[in-house]
Amino acid sequence: MSGAAPGEGDKERAGSEPTGPAATGLSAAAAGELPLRRVVRITNPLGLHHRAADRFCRTAQRFQARVVVRNGELAADGKNIWDLLGLIVLPDQEVVLETDGPDAAQALEVLTEVLGSPNGENYVI
């Protein structure tokens, strides 16, 4: 398709190119780079409780990326507080944080810090 806009129709051809999804305009998953995953230990002494989950959810909503938090077999939409609370994550437990989308790498870094924060009560978002 020679008349297509840059990035259109390239999703199937994009593979292990050194350029990131932000540079190509493709979603990171289409570029073959994602979803990005990171294991995060919950250090908050109350686990992933409602205030910490609210902070995480509000922060996740700033990103275009899809955000998923996994606790064992359970998965939650990181932008939905009720999904997060349904994971029942206890202190010192490990969860998997997964991001997928145009700003997935940035989202993963910021959300890892929020999720792994021992105080989770700081509302400077």
Task: Give the active site residues.
Answer: 49
> How many other CB atoms are found less than 10 A from the CB of residue 24?
18
Please state the separation of Cα 10 from the chain's center in Å. 24
Question: In this structure, are residues 81 and 57 in contact, taking their beta carbons and an 8 Å threshold?
Answer: yes
Question: In this structure, are residues 65 and 100 in contact, taking their beta carbons and an 8 Å threshold?
Answer: yes
Burial of 96 (0-12, 13-18, 19+ CB in 10 A): middle
Alpha carbon distance 101, 79 (integer Å): 14
Q: Per DSSP, what are the bridge partners of residue 67?
A: 99
